[in-house]
Amino acid sequence: MKFNQSNIKKAKKYLDKNYCIGVPTETVYGLAANAFSSYAVKKIFKLKKRPKSNPLIVHYSNISDLKNDCLISDEFLKLYKKFCPGPLTFVLHLKKNSKISKIVTNNKKTLAVRFPKHRVFKKLINDLNYPLAAPSANISTKVSAVKASDVKDDFGKKIHYVLDGGKSKIGLESTIIDLTKFPQILRLGGLEVSKIESVLNKKIKININPSKKIAPGQSKLHYSPGIPLRMNALKPKKNEAYLLVKKKKIKSFNYFYLSKKNDLKEAAKNLYSYLRKIKNKGYKSIAVEKIPNIGLGKSINDRLKRASRF
């Protein structure tokens, strides 16, 4: 993807005017606005039809800006050094004098923060005087966007601009770790939990389906393609789309392969675009073959499970 300075300037101009725009990240596309402006972030909730109770992730370019808004710990620093910028979101304690809009956090005393790696995003955020609140750029409960055209399909003329950064390399949302009490994973995502465990040198609690919701990404229906989806299918029914990880010999119009080489990373990258594609082709349901529950396969299965509750 060509680096286009004039598009970045354009994006900055819209954000400085408190508009809400589509931005590329390595996980999925974000719907971004100035995190210090209640006026700007209110638009995000409205556009996404997102409940006010579901707080937004705030994106930073560097740790010294973050320190204006959040308290940090040794565990945070260890993980930051190893994985940032990258697909890891931290839930931290918010500082009393932080300028983050209370709309972002729904008045909570904690804040979810991330440092994206995408070079276009990084260039943009480096030029701004405020951090960016940016949830995934899709209508709430639906499949996330991994291309600029996905964002345009979802929001059309309702947003003024989408900064094109090519297809998202990871294709799944960030992993969320809550560091406000003891480390716990609130959402599986683009970074494998085993890698986090080896840096912190301990087993970490996975709390992705708690009885009391901490993060609405934990809500049961989410990431839905808008048609029924069933998992662990041995074969498709008549007229059903069949989603597979591994390239098999069978070539059929209704078979969609997420990877050429049985590679879970490649499968994760392609998952959302295939779910969108299948729906757009007019299929009424999707069968998915059993996906190995290892590495990123765990994050893929988490998304499919929530998507299957249509």
Rounded to whole angstroms, what are the CA distances from 274 to 55, 144, 145, 282? Answer: 28, 12, 11, 13
Q: Going along the chain, which residue ranges are E strands?
A: 21-23, 30-34, 57-59, 88-93, 110-114, 132-133, 175-178, 184-187, 205-206, 229-230, 241-244, 255-257, 286-288
Site for ligand AMP in 133-152 (CB under 6 A): 135-136
* For helices 74-83 and 193-200, angle between their N-to-C axes, nearest 10 degrees: 130
* Distance from C-alpha of 91 to C-alpha of 113, rounded to nearest angstrom: 6
- Choose among ligand AMP, Mg ion, none what residue 54 binds, the Cβ cut-off being 5 to 8 Å by kind: ligand AMP
- Interaction between residue 136 and Mg ion (CB under 5 A): yes
Nearest to 306 by CA among 207, 223, 231: 223
Q: Which stretch binds Mg ion (CB under 5 A): 94-102, 118-126, 135-143, 282-290?
A: 135-143
Least distance between ligand AMP and beta carbon 109 (Å): 8
Q: What angle do CA 60, 61, 63 make, to 5 degrees?
A: 80
Separation of CA 170 from chain center: 10
Closest to ligand AMP by CB, 177 or 245: 177
Q: Considering CB distances under 5 to 8 angstroms, the limit depending on partner class, which of Mg ion, ligand AMP, none binds residue 214? A: ligand AMP
| Partner whose footprint covers residue 141, from ligand AMP, Mg ion, none (CB < 5 to 8 Å by kind) | none
Name 241's bridge partners: 286
Choose from ligand AMP, Mg ion, none: what does 215 bind? Cβ within 5-8 Å by kind.
Answer: ligand AMP
Which 91-120 residues touch ligand AMP, going by CB under 6 A? 91, 105, 108, 110-112
DSSP conformation letters of 258-298: S-SSS-HHHHHHHHHHHHHHHHHTT-S-EEE-----STHHH
Of the residues 131, 217, 225, 236, which one makes contact with ligand AMP according to CB under 6 A: 217
Q: Does 299 bind Mg ion (CB under 5 A)?
A: no
Q: How far is it, in rounded angstroms, from Cα 137 to Cα 228? A: 22
To Mg ion, the closest distance from the beta carbon of 222 in angstroms equals: 7
CB of 105 or CB of 270, closer to ligand AMP:
105
Residue count, binding to ligand AMP (CB under 6 A): 20
The tokens describing 134, both together, are 């940016």
Q: Which CB, 100 or 287, lies closer to ligand AMP?
A: 100
Q: Which of 15, 20, 159, 186 binds ligand AMP (CB under 6 A)?
A: 186
Residues that bind ligand AMP (CB under 6 A): 54-57, 91, 105, 108, 110-112, 135-136, 173, 176, 186-187, 214-217
Residues that bind Mg ion (CB under 5 A): 136
